[in-house]
Structure 1
């Protein structure tokens, strides 16, 4: 069986000097593959490999834009984008540091206390700790303002009770930044009274229950809080300001290249399987997918530039996520159709393509849910455009 080829994205949108960084990442991935430390991916998803994350950290590729005083490297958002793009396109398992680097660290940088920054950020940069997101709940769906996990005030902190659901990697990570209700909702402002708190997942009263998906893996979790004490020192930002903070956090979550690169390896394997002389119909279909992919990439890049300038592009991030989700699902359908149309199943050498496609078909429904459903995102977009 031949090794999978690499299909790389090359656009002039990034400054030319970043090409050296791109090649540096590719050399790292090639060396990891050659050493046997980094197997070729056989399923869709970020993967969770703490040892790989630590080796990525040793390259200086976690916390790239953060201040050096917190262990960061003070590089540009576009440099981080190049590294992210290359790691995802190659199918490197980055899940052990992904959420921490993408959004938990930036939330602490923007809203955390100095003590929180000093305690957590250097550990994230070294890939010593990993975070998960504590937003979704049972019966709340995408209506985040209806969450019921509560924080009751008591001396020195808050007593937390409730449940978070669909919490990715909670059974593997160290800490959650949870959104909880610390005051009653105002009927005219349901988003009021929400607060973000840091909850180490080994705290007394925390129970994490993995949920097996139809893909056959346990990535999602239900996390229960039974009278969990959260000291005041673990409140992130101002009590009651949680909604504004989460809105900023979701811009990081929704706009990144993982919103259109989750299925990229599948497309790369298809191109390898089609060979140097694909049929006219296959060329047209692959060209159509690549055209859409490049368009979404340009939107994602523009949002990275906005984030670097300190903006909160909530509307733009929602557009990127909605378009990226639709592209990812369309890519799975298109690859499946081409595999059947070109009789690729009859050629036994394409094991990576078969395994990736089987995984992608089971995983694809989750694309519309993670980071907000398409219906919710289109509502955000409509409001941002003044249409509702």
Structure 2
């Protein structure tokens, strides 16, 4: 247990990474001067390819990828600063998000040199957007029950099956899909592999799913006899389970698992400063500040481990679990605070923002692994099961 918990000892963002923060803030002030909070609250679900390309022009997509592949070759701390400022401002980063955060690092770690030369420069230029094909219909969070299958054939691989809850599949160029290449679903983690799927290929159908807010971030993707090239396989055949777990460490370890509701929090605090705050409001604000400071320090500690080249799978799961609870609490508690004074006039922008986040926040503990799955991982990491 000590080895797992030691990673959360206090760490600090190095001065050179902090100096980078001013540059990011200046860029965001220029690019997002008047965007309302209810739009900014969509942040890493907001798809804006032009904005992503403006970041790429500054070298801020694929920030940690090597310069040889088009990246900036910077460390994990600078990426932490960049992500923190983008999310705090509510920047629309969804277009490049998955490719930058996990698909690029996955290809760098497990891909062939041909795959690296082909895909990584496109990712760093925000010219190729990726989505993740993990979840499947009727499987919930049980990734080991994957039924989509790729079989070797003349000319490469033949892929059949489907994926669901795939973020931005209708806008993306490629999917990295976890599929079965041998055995049966009963074999669980054995026989799983990852393949890069060009979503423009014949036999690929993408069906957007409209959510409660009226947005369509998720899609169902159907594969009907899709022919993939021989080099579509990433890494070793049959090693998909280990690779996915390495990928999910990148997905769960960043500050995006803390800041999804921070635009609302900032707006509410600004309203309190102008309209006055009750004692209950002050107490609630202090509670938010305490939780945020603690979670941020934990996320920085995980970033320090990434900077050392380690893979903080369990630690990232802890931050993700606690972070999404915090993200969900912000709209719920602010909504309750507003309702506690029914005679007060409600600012329209605040009303729209809290309404949106109240609707979307239940998904925060689903994306990137459900709370139950994460707690099982944490228990195994602590030797409790």
Answer yes or no: is the 8 Å Cα contact 1:33–1:40 preserved in 2: no
> 2:94 — aligned with what?
95
> Is 1:357 matched up with 2:351?
no
In the TM superposition, residue 45 of structure 1 has moved relative to its aligned partner by 4.5
Q: Which moved more, 1:121-130 or 1:295-304?
A: 295-304
Q: Quick check: 1:80 aligned with 2:64?
A: no
- Who is 1:250 aligned against? 248
Deviation at 1:135, TM superposition (A): 0.2
1:286 is matched with 285
**TM-aligned CA deviation for residue 40 of structure 1:** 4.9
State the Cα RMSD in Å. Answer: 1.7
Instruction: Tell me the SS of whatever aligns to 1:355.
Output: helix
Using a 3 Å threshold, how does the CA distance of structure 1 residues 12 and 237 change in structure 2: closer, same or farther?
Answer: closer
C-alpha displacement of 1:84: 0.5
Per chain length, whose mean CA-contact separation is higher, i.e. which structure has more relative contact order (CA < 8 Å, sep 6+)? 2
| Cα distance in 2 for residues equivalent to 1:97 and 1:53 | 6
**Partners of 2:250 and 2:84 in 1: how far apart?**
15
| DSSP-derived class of the 2:79 partner | helix
Q: Quick check: which one's helix share is greater?
A: 2
Quote the Cα distance in structure 2 between the aligned partners of 1:177 and 1:61: 22
User: Which runs of structure 1 show a deviation greater than 3 angstroms over 4 or more consecutive aligned residues?
Assistant: 38-41
Measured in 2, the distance between the counterparts of 1:25 and 1:285 equals: 30
Q: Distance in 1 between matches of 2:248 and 2:128?
A: 21
| C-alpha separation in 1, matches of 2:248 and 2:11 | 28
Please, which moves more after superposition, 126-135 or 308-317? 308-317
Provide the residue aligned with 2:4 in structure 1.
none
Tell whether 2:368 aligns with 1:371.
Answer: yes
User: What are the within-5 Å matches in structure 2 for residues 330-349 of structure 1?
Assistant: 330-342=329-341, 346-347=344-345
CA distance in 1, matches of 2:383, 2:184: 25
Query: Partner of 2:95: helix, strand, or coil?
Result: coil
Deviation at 1:308, TM superposition (A): 2.1
Query: How many equivalent residue pairs?
Result: 373
Q: Aligned-pair distance for 1:367?
A: 1.0
**Cα deviation 1:5-58 (Å, max 9, x = unaligned):** xxxxxx982122333211111111111124x6x665434352000011111111
Alignment partners' CA distance in 2, 1:313 and 1:74: 21
Q: Which runs of 5+ in 2 are unaligned?
A: 1-9
Distance 1:360 1:116 in 2: 38
Q: CA deviation at 1:341?
A: 2.6
Question: Deviation digits for residues 282-336 of structure 1, max 9, x if unmatched?
Answer: 1111111111111111111111121222212111111111101111111111111
The worse-fitting range, judged by mean Cα deviation, of 302-311 and 90-99 is 302-311
TM-score (norm 1): 0.92
TM score, norm. by length of structure 2: 0.93
Deviations 1:212-238, CA, capped at 9 Å, x for gaps:
001111110000000001122111001
2:13 aligns to what? Answer: 14
Instruction: Report the secondary structure of 1:202's partner residue.
Output: coil
Contact (CA 8 Å) 2:11, 2:304: kept in 1 or not?
A: no
Contact 2:64 2:73 in 1 (8 A): yes
